Homo-oligomer: A and B are copies of this chain.
Amino acid sequence: MQSISCSDEEKKFQVRKLEISDKSKGFIELLQQLTVCDSVSDEEFRSRFEEISSYGDNHVICVIEDGSSQKIIATGSVFIERKFIRNCSKVGHIEDVVVDSNARGMQLGKKIVEYLTDHARSVGCYKVILDCSAKNRAFYEKCGFEQKEFEMAKYFI
């Protein structure tokens, strides 16, 4: 019976690409747990969604929907940068990974990061990178990442 239960669990928390209908399933509210994220109108959402979708495999946002509540409980994104270095290679940049505070401890963050990492590998990236706070380093180390350099930022507003 254990194996059936596992399979159900796997199915319940499947990672899939962001859909336009996810706005009504709490996608923006989930991002608000990560950082400053004002409410977004349906029109603004549709416009940005279509813009990002037009990049195809070059910018993927994935989500996990809780099958019971039909709420989006985890998300993350990756975009693909084309370079001249390393024989005209590519790098995947992972951004905006967040798991709902009520859904922690179920390895959903790991699933999201693995999905994004697999995507970057599948389109030919030689590495995938991300920036994280000191308190999240251990989590990413468990996901197979190692610390490299320092993130520097300049804010305009």
Using CB atoms and an 8 Å cutoff, list the residues of chain A in contact with chain B: 27-28, 31, 34-38, 40, 44-45, 47-48, 51-52, 59, 79, 81-88, 91, 93, 95-96, 117, 120-121, 125-134, 137, 140-141, 143-157
By a CB distance below 8 angstroms, the chain B residues around A143 are: 154
- Among B40, B84, B151, which residue has its beta carbon within 8 angstroms of that of A151? B151
By a CB distance below 8 angstroms, the chain B residues around A52 are: 82
- Contact B152 A145, beta carbon cutoff 8 Å: yes
Q: What copy number does this chain have within its complex?
A: 2
- Contact B84 A28, beta carbon cutoff 8 Å: yes
By a CB distance below 8 angstroms, the chain B residues around A31 are: 84-85
- Among B47, B131, B134, B148, which residue has its beta carbon within 8 angstroms of that of A129? B131
- Contact A132 B145, beta carbon cutoff 8 Å: no
- Contact A88 B149, beta carbon cutoff 8 Å: no
